[in-house]
Structure formats: C-alpha cells, structure tokens
Amino acid sequence: MVVKESEVCGGGLEWRINFPDGTSKILVPHHHTISKTRFCRILHAFFVEGLFSKIYGFFREAWRLGMDDPKKFFHCFKVGIALSLVSLFYYMRPLYQGVGGNAMWAVLTVVVVFEYTVGATLCKCLNKATATFLAGALGIGVHWIGSHFGEKLQPIFLQGSVFVLAAAATFTRFMPSVKARFDYGVLIFILTFSLVSVSGFRVGKLFEFASHRLSTIAIGTSICILTSILFCPVWAGEELHNLIQTNMEKLADSLDECVAEYFRKDARSEASNKISVGYRCVLNSRATEESLANFARWEPAHGGFNFGHPWKEYRKVGASLRSCAYHIEVLNGSINAGTKAPDFLKKHFSKFCMKLSSSSSAVLKELVFVTHTMTRSAKIDIIVEEMRSAVEELQIVLKSLITQPINASTNINIGNEESDASNTSMSLIEIAPLVTLSSLLIEIAARTEDIAKAVNELAN
Amino acid sequence: MVVKESEVCGGGLEWRINFPDGTSKILVPHHHTISKTRFCRILHAFFVEGLFSKIYGFFREAWRLGMDDPKKFFHCFKVGIALSLVSLFYYMRPLYQGVGGNAMWAVLTVVVVFEYTVGATLCKCLNKATATFLAGALGIGVHWIGSHFGEKLQPIFLQGSVFVLAAAATFTRFMPSVKARFDYGVLIFILTFSLVSVSGFRVGKLFEFASHRLSTIAIGTSICILTSILFCPVWAGEELHNLIQTNMEKLADSLDECVAEYFRKDARSEASNKISVGYRCVLNSRATEESLANFARWEPAHGGFNFGHPWKEYRKVGASLRSCAYHIEVLNGSINAGTKAPDFLKKHFSKFCMKLSSSSSAVLKELVFVTHTMTRSAKIDIIVEEMRSAVEELQIVLKSLITQPINASTNINIGNEESDASNTSMSLIEIAPLVTLSSLLIEIAARTEDIAKAVNELAN
C-alpha cells in the first residue's frame, strides 16, 4: 500500500492510496472541517476521554483493591446490613413507637461507630457508651447546680462549665496515652456534655432527653457489635498477626533477592526488582501496627488468640523488623551504587555472602512458620546456629585479606603508585563495596537474632 | 551496732541492739500489729500512692506537653470559645427563635469539626458542607422517587437505596486517593443520606428538615472557621515547614555527634546520647508530614505561603530526609557494634571522616537556612562543592590502603599466618568498621545532595 502525492489536472494536490491489488483510492482533503473536528476532538479529549479515563481508572483501582482483599467488599456489605437493620426502627411501627424521632441517634451511631475491624468497632462502641453515660450524668449534675443560681446567672454558669470542661478535655486529646485509646471517647464526652448542659437550658425534660440518647446509642452500638462479630468478622488481632508475618516474609525475600542480584551478572528483571523492594512496606507499617495493636486489646478471644494476648510484643517484633529493614534499605542502596569490586574477588565472596544471606532469610522464614503455627519450633535453634557459623565464616574470609597500612605519620600514598609494585594488590576503595556488604550482612544477621528473640518472647 | 538473738529468762526469744556507746535496746516483737499495718500499707500503696502517682504523672505530662508547645493550650481555649459562641444560640432568645431545637446540630458540628490546624478545620468544614448538601439533595430525590411506589414498596425501595449507596460510599473510603482528602466527607455523605432518606419516611416536612440541617451546619462551620483563623491560628503549612526544618537540624546534629563520638575516646555522655538519636523522630514523621501536606492544600495564603504553595515538594524533601536518616541509623548501629579498629588507623581516618561529616551537616544546616528564609542561598553551591571534595579526599585515603588479595582459587588463608610476615599488616576485619563508616559517610553525602536538590526544587 503506497500513498502517493500526485499532480492532477485541477492543479491542486491529490493524495492517492494504491492498494497491492491494483485498486486505488483518492484521499479527499477537507480543510474546512478540520478546524471544527479538531476543536471537537480537543473538547472530547478534555472532557469525555479525560473524565472517562479518570472514572475508568477509579473503578479499576477499586476493583483491584477489592480483589486484593475481598474482606473489604464484605465490610461494605456489613455496613449496608447494619444501616438496614437500624432503619427498621423507622419502618416498623412498634419499634418506632418505642424510640420515636430519637431513632435518628441510632442511625448516627451506626454510621460513625462501624469500623473495619471488630477491635476498632468495640473500642469506639465502649468509648461512646461510657463517655455518653459519664457526660450525661455530669451534664445533668451541672444543670441541677445551675438551676439554683437563678435565671440570670444560670446561662453564665452553664457556659463557664462548658468552656472549662471542653478545654480540659480537648487538652487530654493531645496526650499520647489518651489519644491512643480514648480519643473518640473524649470527643463524645465533650459532645454529650455540651449538648446536655447547653440544651438543658431549653429542653424541659432533660432527664428523658439524656435517657433517650443513651438508649438509642445502646441500640446503635449493639447492632454494630453484632453485625461486625457475626458476619465474617475482621479481627484486628488477626490482621496484626498476618501483617507481621507478611512483613517477615517480605524481608526474607528482599534480602535474598538483593544479595543474589549483586552477585548475578545479568541486568535487573522487573520481577526481581519488585521483590527486592518488598522491604519498603515494612518501613512504613509502624502506624498500622500501632493502631492494630491498640484495637486488638479490646477484642474477645477469637481463633488462637485469648483475651489478653500479648499484643504489645507484636509491636516489639515490628520494631525489630523495621530495624532490619533499615539495614536492607542501605544494603539495597549500596548495591546499586556505582563502584564495582573486581570480579574474581566478587566470585570469592559470593559463596560466603550468599550463604549468610540465605541463612538469615531461612531464620526469618522459620520465624514466619513459628508465628503462623504459634508453637515453638525445634528447628529454630539449629538454623540460628547455622546463621552464626555463616557469620563466622564470612569473618574468617575478611580476616584472610591482609592490608598494608600506611604509617599514620606519613602522607597519603596514592594507590596507583603502590599497585605498580605488586600486580595483584588492590586499593581499599575497590573492595570497599564488598566489605560494606559483608558488614551490613553481619549486622542484618544480628538484627535477625533480635527478631528471633522478640518472636520467642511472644511465643512464651 | 550489733543485733543479737539472746535467750532471756522468760524462755522466749529477744532481739537486742547493742550500740557502740554501750547502750542497748530491746526490739519488741509486735506480731499482731504487723499484719494489720502491712495490709494497710499495701492498700495505701495500691490505691492512694498508685492513684496519686498516676494522677500526678498525668498532670506532669500534660504540663510538659503544654510548655513544649503553648499553641496546644491556645487550641483548648479556642475550642472553649467556639463552643461558648455556638451555645449563644440557646441562651439568646432571638437567636433561638431562628433555629429552634436544631441548634443542637450546630453544637455537634463545632465539636466534631474543630481541629488543631486551620487546614484540617477547613478541610472538615468543606467536606461536611459539600457532603451534607449532596447527600441531602440525593436523599430528597430518592424519597420523591420512592413516594411513587406506594406505601408497601416505599420502605423497601428506600432501604435498598440506603444499602447500595452506603456500601458503595464505604468502599470508596478504602481508596487511598479518597481517604487522604475526602474520608470525612464520605462519612458525612452516608450519615446525611441515611438520615434524610430513612427519617423522611416519618418526618412530614422533609425539605424543611434538610434545609434546617444545612443552615445549622453553616452556622457551626462558620463559627469554627472564624475562631480557628482569627485567634492565634495554627497553619498546617507552617507546621509542616517547621517540621521539615527541625528534622533537617536534627539530622545534622545527629550526624555530627555520631561521628565525633566514634572517634572520641571517652564514654558516651547523657547529652550527646540524646543528640545522636535525634534522627529517630525523622524515621517516624512520615504520617505527620503526609497529613499536614494534605491539610495545607486547603489553606488560604498566610505568612510567606501563597495559596497553591507546592506542598507536595515538602513530602519529597521529607522522603529524602528519611532516606538519609536510615543511613544514620545504620551508622549509629555500626558505631556501637563491638569491633574496634586499631587506634593509629582510627586517628588517621578521623580527620577525613570528621571533615566529611561536618561538611555534610554544614550543607544540611545551610538548607535549614534556605528553607527558613525561603530564598536561594549563594553559599549552598560552595558548601556542596566542599562536601564533594571531602568525599574525594576520603576516597583517596581509601585508595591509599593497599590490600594483598588472596587468589580466588586458593583456600582461605587465616590472617594470623600472614601477619607474622609483616608486623604492621592488618586483616581486613580490623579495618572493616572504618571502611563501612567511610562508605556510609559517602552515601550520606550523596543523600544530602539529594536533599539539596529537593530543597532547590522547592525554592523554584
């Protein structure tokens, strides 16, 4: 198929397409329409395609998210179910007659309190119930005291008490110990106290108002708790347990892949690249671990976990995993740095470095097994011992390389001068990457032992 | 002073204390009283002292927190002021006649929406207003459609629409892009939609209900916005700006202190220990940075920052700071590890390592100055150049140390055999710490350049 530009009788230019089978087709120019269609196309590109691709991207991401973790789909269904249940208080006459317009508070409670994990839901429910009760009682008390002050002073007293209590309660939200566990409770305390003591000025039956609020909150929280525990529960404890396991696995894989990559000659593949940066999510998992550990404390016994399971220990394991991940991050950086060690030395080191890294990752993988089965492993001591001997072997290799030090008093000798003397001698800068790699690996082995200790404490 | 156990005439045992001056004192046993007082003491220790020390500790921590950052005290006052303002809608008759019992929603809005930074408050206010409006309109629409279905089908249709919309909206909260900016909005959307469409089944004047809710929310949000902007505003942007600066300063100090400590002979002092672990808060500041950067986008122009200030760039600077902090963490670990390099070599290296570390930290400190004044610094290029030449000098020192490699084909030679031949030669393991330190310092210098680049981009 050839497109030809040919002069035609009319004196204008003509574009003709000659097809292989001998036929041809003339391309008709349409100058006037171009500007219009281009304008349309730009409009189309901006609005339709841009919007369409954004919406498409949004849905694709949503689908990927849900497929990665179908529990998220279930969670959405659970929210829908809880809301449907609570809305029955409006639709069924006998139920509506019981609570009346206050059913609104139950709906509000369900929407605000329902969380992804059972622990978080329980934490919020208990916080909400306790805080509402306390603040309600305090609000009624303050209101009762205020009623003795006379009509003029009462608003001032009420407003003063709201100011002082709200300010004090807000301040406690800054404190880490309160923030971690009772943040929501303090918020609800301020809310209820303000509502009860302020609106009490106008609402006649204050006690009824407070008790209605309490009973609707009780309805809302019990619907939330039942739905979140009965339908495919997501336990914060189990999530934390799995997170720690996944993180350990990722660390082990990253370590293996990073070291193997350094000693391999071919270029990085896409897949290996992905594995070798798996440790990165360990670096950023601190906040998730802390909140899960906090929520897990509220959960009743489930699966293999009793109430009072040592969730704090998981945070220690997480901290030592992160400490190990920092070293792998540096290792990964130094592997990708420019300087290259001589090949024969690399070959010599490779055996020992690979052995150490694979024994470290074997320890990590065994620890994954230990945490998974929640039993002490007989093998773990042997594997740790193997790792220690791999460390020693690497240290012996390092010992076997002899350095001629320069005298501290002399000036710096440039390496090249000396290297003429002995053909095989190398300057330290050439082997620096290998030395750094080795000492990082030795450090990583030490961190792995720390992780093993932390997991052992957890097992006890 | 001797305590003697002596037989006395009564046949019982007697404890006698003989003082050096010849006097003596008999210890009277009081078996019966001990158990009582001990019991009281335990009770006292458990309840009074334990409780007292806990309360005391709580208040001391609160005081320390407030003194560290008096803005937190101001924030509490602001919450109190906002609540007092909104409660005027109850206390002042003309205002109360305007909104009636719906003033409750305004109080609720103030409590829930008022946040520490202006950005967070604005973000929540805008989210709340938009979501309430959208959900209210949608709820009324759904209710209108439902009213055509007849009395039996209407509740089913309404419940179905709540189920579907709540589930879909809940799912979007899992998506990072929505979670970062619109999480609160989606929550309010679900809340308002459920309230309007469900309670619409019973409430006669649905339109009035929705418009009252909107107007009270408008009152609440405007009180929040005004209070948070007019009284000692805490800008998220400024907080982020300061956080990045403090982090840079801490990194510079830690780096200086760590390296100086390694080459110093005396033990770690308490103060230096504190400085050298300052980098740790950089490791954990990611979540804070991200939320501040998100909130800063909502803020109007303030101080030296315009609307549309490149807050995203701060996250890049933060990321490169963290990358540098990982290296300092490893450096700190390797410095505290057991192996020690020979003294004379340490002395030789100290000059170059200290020079490199101090020039790196000088770059960081200059970058603090650059971010502080938000102007390009003429000096920065010179200092970076100095750092580069310090890197080169250290590399030359590394080059000057010559290694006799073992042949790759031969077995490992144990270092000691060779060291007999030349008295001053050392095995590689002895200088490994110094080599690692040097390569870490070189890496840190490279990261510092990355930080400088990121800050420069920010300056542009």
Q: Render pLDDT for A77-111 as a digit per residue (tens, 0 to 9).
A: 999 999 988 888 877 776 667 666 677 888 889 99
Among the partner-chain residues B333, B345, B397, the one whose CB lies closest to the CB of A412 is B397
Report whether pLDDT(A121) > 90: yes
Which residue is it, tokens 């110094």?
Answer: B434
Among the partner-chain residues B107, B177, B342, the one whose CB lies closest to the CB of A198 is B107
Within 8 A of A191 by CB-CB distance, chain B residues are 107-108, 111-112
- The residue-averaged pLDDT of A319-337 equals 85
Q: What is the CA radius of gyration of chain A?
A: 35
Neighbouring CB atoms inside 10 A of B244's CB total 26
State the helix-helix crossing angle for A176-199 and A206-230, rounded to 10 degrees. Answer: 140
Q: What is the pLDDT of residues B300-316, one digit of tens each?
A: 888 777 777 888 888 88
Cα B449 from Cα B327, distance rounded (Å): 14
A439–B432 CB contact, under 8 Å: yes
Tokens of A154: 């009462």
Which residue is it, tokens 């000059």?
Answer: B351
Q: Beta A13-18 vs A2-7: how paired, if at all?
A: antiparallel
Say what the pLDDT of residue B26 is. Answer: 55
Say what the pLDDT of residue B373 is. Answer: 82
Q: Establish, for the pair of chains A and B, how many residue pairs have beta carbons separated by less than 8 Å.
A: 321
- The residue-averaged pLDDT of B402-428 equals 48
Say what the pLDDT of residue B300 is. Answer: 86
Report whether pLDDT(B43) > 80: no
Among the partner-chain residues B87, B424, B439, the one whose CB lies closest to the CB of A198 is B87
Please write down the long-range contacts of B349-354, taking CB distance under 8 Å and 24 or more positions apart: B349/B263, B349/B397, B349/B434, B349/B437, B349/B438, B350/B263, B352/B390, B352/B393, B352/B394, B352/B397, B352/B438, B353/B259, B353/B262, B353/B263, B353/B394, B353/B434, B353/B437, B353/B438, B353/B441, B354/B259, B354/B260, B354/B263
Neighbouring CB atoms inside 10 A of B365's CB total 18
**Distance (Å) from the alpha carbon of A16 to chain B's nearest alpha carbon:** 51
- Show the CA angle centred on residue A343, arms to residues A340 and A348, nearest 5°: 115
What pLDDT band is residue A122 in, cutting at 50, 70 and 90?
very high
Report whether pLDDT(B19) > 60: no
Q: What is the pLDDT of residues B156-185, one digit of tens each?
A: 888 889 899 999 999 998 888 888 889 999
Among the partner-chain residues B90, B413, B428, the one whose CB lies closest to the CB of A198 is B90
B398–A84 CB contact, under 8 Å: no
Within 8 A of A73 by CB-CB distance, chain B residues are 171
Query: Quick one: which of B434, B438, B404 has its CA closest to A337?
Result: B438
Segment of B21-30, B41-50, B57-66, B71-80 carrying the highest mean pLDDT: B71-80
User: One-letter amino acid identity for A347?
Assistant: K
Report whether pLDDT(A275) > 90: no
What pLDDT band is residue A351 in, cutting at 50, 70 and 90?
confident
Residue pair A401/A431 in contact (Cβ under 8 Å)? The answer is yes
Burial of A229 (0-12, 13-18, 19+ CB in 10 A): middle
If you measure CA to CA, which chain A residue comes closest to B352? A412
Within 8 A of B104 by CB-CB distance, chain A residues are 195, 199
Report whether pLDDT(B29) > 50: no
Report whether pLDDT(B410) > 80: no
Say what the pLDDT of residue A29 is. Answer: 47
Cα A328 from Cα A331, distance rounded (Å): 5
Q: What is the pLDDT of residues B206-241, one digit of tens each?
A: 777 777 888 888 889 999 999 999 888 889 888 999
- The residue-averaged pLDDT of A272-286 equals 81
- The residue-averaged pLDDT of A219-223 equals 90
Say what the pLDDT of residue A301 is. Answer: 83
Is the complex ipTM higher than 0.95?
no
Within 8 A of B203 by CB-CB distance, chain A residues are 101
**Distance (Å) from the alpha carbon of B330 to chain A's nearest alpha carbon:** 6
What pLDDT band is residue B372 in, cutting at 50, 70 and 90?
confident
b/e map of A135-158 (b: 16 or more CB within 10 Å)?
bbebbbebbeebeeeeeeebbebb
Residue pair B335/B422 in contact (Cβ under 8 Å)? The answer is no
Cα A116 from Cα A79, distance rounded (Å): 9
Say what the pLDDT of residue A280 is. Answer: 85
Asked which of A327-341, B167-181, B263-277 is least confident by mean pLDDT, the reply is: B263-277
Cα A325 from Cα A174, distance rounded (Å): 30
Q: In what order do the strands lie in the sheet with A24-27?
A: A2-7, A13-18, A24-27
Query: Quick one: which of B244, B239, B130, B236 has its CA closest to B188?
Result: B130
Report whether pLDDT(A417) > 50: no
Which residue is it, tokens 């800054």?
Answer: A174
Among the partner-chain residues A104, A175, A203, the one whose CB lies closest to the CB of B61 is A175
Task: Count the residues in chain A.
Answer: 460
Q: Beta B13-18 vs B2-7: how paired, if at all?
A: antiparallel
Residue pair B138/B250 in contact (Cβ under 8 Å)? The answer is no
Q: What is the dihedral of CA A99, A103, A105, A111, to 10 degrees?
A: 140
Report whether pLDDT(B20) > 60: no
Cα B8 from Cα A444, distance rounded (Å): 69
Within 8 A of B177 by CB-CB distance, chain A residues are 61
Tokens of B225: 């916005």
For an interface test with B, give the residue of A104, A350, A403 to mutate (most B CBs within 10 A). A403
- The residue-averaged pLDDT of B46-65 equals 81
Q: Give the 3-state DSSP-derived string for B62-131, with helices as H, strands as E and coil as C.
A: HHHHHHHCCHHHHHHHHHHHHHHHHHHHHHCHHHHHHHHHHHHHHHHHHHHHCCCCHHHHHHHHHHHHHH
Computed over every residue of chain A, the mean pLDDT equals: 79
A91–B201 CB contact, under 8 Å: yes
A347–B286 CB contact, under 8 Å: no
Report whether pLDDT(B30) > 80: no
**Distance (Å) from the alpha carbon of A219 to chain B's nearest alpha carbon:** 16
Neighbouring CB atoms inside 10 A of A413's CB total 18
Q: What is the pLDDT of residues B315-364, one digit of tens each?
A: 888 988 998 899 888 888 877 765 677 777 788 888 888 889 899 999 98
Q: What is the pLDDT of residues A50-61, one digit of tens each?
A: 788 888 888 888
Q: Beta B13-18 vs B24-27: how paired, if at all?
A: antiparallel
β partners of residue B2: B18
If you measure CA to CA, which chain B residue comes closest to A442? B334
How crowded is the C-beta side of A449, counted as CA atoms within 13 Å?
14
B80–A395 CB contact, under 8 Å: no
If you measure CA to CA, which chain B residue comes closest to A196? B104
User: One-letter amino acid identity for A456?
Assistant: N
- A123 or A151: which carries more pLDDT confidence? A123
**Distance (Å) from the alpha carbon of B144 to chain A's nearest alpha carbon:** 17
- A173 or A377: which carries more pLDDT confidence? A173
Report whether pLDDT(A15) > 90: no
Cα A214 from Cα B436, distance rounded (Å): 64
Report whether pLDDT(A209) > 50: yes
Tokens of A327: 């070293």
- The residue-averaged pLDDT of A110-121 equals 91
A187–B76 CB contact, under 8 Å: no
A400–B422 CB contact, under 8 Å: no
- The residue-averaged pLDDT of A99-128 equals 87
Q: Assign residue B398 a region (left: φ > 0; alpha: ψ between -120 and 50; beta: otherwise).
A: alpha
b/e map of A365-383 (b: 16 or more CB within 10 Å)?
bbbbebbeeeeebeebeeb
Percent of chain A beyond pLDDT 90?
12
